[in-house]
Structure 1
Amino acid sequence: MKIKFKVSILSLCLMASSLAYADPHWTYEGKTSPEHWGELDKKWETCHTGSNQSPINIDHTIKGKLDNLAIDFHVTNETIVNNGHTIQVTTSDGDDVTIDNVKYSLKQFHFHSPSENHINGQAFPVEIHFVHANDDNQLAVVAVMVKEGKANPVIDEILKDIPAQIDKEEKIEQPFNFSKLFPTDKHYYRYSGSLTTPPCTEGVTWFVMKEPVEMSKQQITQFQEALKHSNNRPLQALNGRLIVE
């Protein structure tokens, strides 16, 4: 089934990027927390009324004999920003992933701590969201869970480039190898969901990798300190959706 968004790729990326909104302001705590997002702006009502919202607990899956994700890794220059909601890396010539014989290009990726999606009731210390769009303006998010383990050299490169000032975008001078942010095993869970930040737009195809990658305890702590607060939306009701593996 093909779901089309009649909006520009730029608009989609801005929505999915967790960029700071000047008016209204939203947060993960207090009176502007996820429980109140749908009240803050009429355009955000889907955050409360939507029936295919993300994140979810991935459980009771059905077998679909899904092919491994075909990811074509490039080496590009990127920019990085701490926008107050997440640490985000924007790509200029993104890596491609092929889904249902259609090529999607990576627009940006960002970090949540703790994880937003759960797998069989388990949360992870960090979850990375790789936001892709195709030529028809369809969105796909590839989610990679992170567990504590060995230090990841790519994460070291990202951590050292995080700007100290909120909303100050900096260029990452040294291109890095994206493949180190993905597990070797490319099997995944697939479901239909939404953006996890306002306006919570639905029609987003989610691919949650089964195998996590590793970061050291120190790297995880550094991310949490840079974020200064948890940035995970609570789990949403499945509402009869199928999760395929």
Structure 2
Amino acid sequence: MATLVTLVSLLLLGFQAQVRSEWTYSEGQLDEEHWALHYPACGGTRQSPINLQRRKVHFNPALTPLELMGYEEGQAGQFPMTNNGHTVQITLPESMRLAGPEGTEHVAVQMHFHWGGDSFEVSGSEHTVDGVRRVMEIHVVHYNSKYESYDIAKDAPDGLAVLAAFVEMEEDAENTYYSSFISHLANIKYPGQSTMISGLPVLDMLPENHFEYYTYHGSLTTPPCTENVRWFVLQDSVKLSRAQVWKIENSLLTHDNKTLHNGYRSVQPLHDRVVEASFQFSRSLHSEIGSYLEGIQMSIRDLARALEQRREKRRV
């Protein structure tokens, strides 16, 4: 009898592990709406991403420029790059470090990307600014250097920090710093495939301006959605050509053998959190109206996306 109970328990654990590993953004039993059922933190009050409302952001003159240490050394290194079924992830060396405004040093772990690309949503950044979603978003994940490893830091209250940068599209302005990265995507078309990049100009793949940024306390944007992330979202953006954006959006497949599109989480409620900025800005009436209209357009696209998801579920 004890043997039977043990066997049943192992089968249940195996089933749970399988379910927990198959989370998705919009399709399947464990889509974004149901993450919190298996990952309780995903239903918390300090979730990411958020909408950065500039009129509500607090300017903090004490926020010093972010310091990226060892990033320029990456051009001579070896970088493993993997299709994990949700995005392309690049492993970074521990020599790359981020120093925040309080002087806390964080060790780099990996960088990955979020994009849109389906018929209803061209843009795919996770954070939005005044309701406007950008074309893509880069995340560089770090852990607090006071912990011995990422595995320890990932569960600590002050364990993680993410440097985020937006990507915008300029029609024919090819960004040569992305050439090697994009060319290697063909080697990781299927989930689980990995390749190696010899030399990757990580520093040049990010915006030059590290002085102006937003910061707030939030979470990982994918399960388990741990609420221990200090976010640094750069104000400036990276520019890629339309052809480069298209290549990134259409090179990888998911576990369901579909093109990896719309790999981003919806914006989450801010609740009582405060978003700070290291810079001040002024806005004209014209820019206010423009942002308002862009926000409406994004809402319409998101609504169309939600309706399409419901239709897909009904077909299933």
TM-score grouping bracket, smaller chain normalisation: 0.7 to 0.9
How far residue 166 of structure 1 moved from its aligned partner, in angstroms, is 1.5
Q: 1:35 to 1:93 in 2, by over 3 A?
A: same
TM-score by length of 2: 0.67
How far residue 96 of structure 1 moved from its aligned partner, in angstroms, is 1.2
Partner of 1:53: 47
Partner of 1:13: none
SS state at 1:23 partner: helix
Partner of 1:231: 263
1:143 aligned residue (151, 164, 168): 164
For 2:127, the aligned partner's letter is: N
Give me the whole-angstrom Cα distance separating, in 2, the residues matched to 1:80 and 1:226: 14
Give me the whole-angstrom Cα distance separating, in 1, the residues matched to 2:244 and 2:48: 26
In proportion to residue count, which structure has more helix?
2
How far residue 102 of structure 1 moved from its aligned partner, in angstroms, is 2.0
What is the total number of aligned residue pairs between the two structures? 220
Partner of 1:243: 275
Partner of 1:68: 65
Q: Deviations over 1:68-110 (max 9, x none)?
A: 1111222222100111101111113442111121221111000
Q: 1:84 to 1:23 in 2, by over 3 A?
A: same
- Work out which structure has the larger RCO, using CA pairs closer than 8 Å and 6 or more positions apart in sequence: 1
Give me the whole-angstrom Cα distance separating, in 2, the residues matched to 1:179 and 1:81: 20
**Unaligned runs of at least 5 residues, structure 1:** 1-20
Give me the whole-angstrom Cα distance separating, in 1, the residues matched to 2:176 and 2:19: 38
Partner of 2:86: 85
For 1:63, the aligned partner's letter is: F
For 1:166, the aligned partner's letter is: P
Partner of 1:160: 183
Partner of 1:102: 104
Contact 2:181 2:200 in 1 (8 A): no
Alignment of 1:72-221 (within 5 A): 72=69, 73=71, 74-75=73-74, 76-99=77-100, 100-113=102-115, 114-135=124-145, 136=147, 137=153, 138-149=159-170, 150-162=173-185, 163-172=188-197, 174-186=198-210, 187-221=212-246
Greater Rg, structure 1 or structure 2?
Answer: 2
Q: Return 71-80 or 90-99, whichever deviates more.
A: 90-99
How far residue 240 of structure 1 moved from its aligned partner, in angstroms, is 1.5
SS state at 2:59 partner: coil
Q: Is 2:19 aligned against 1:23?
A: yes
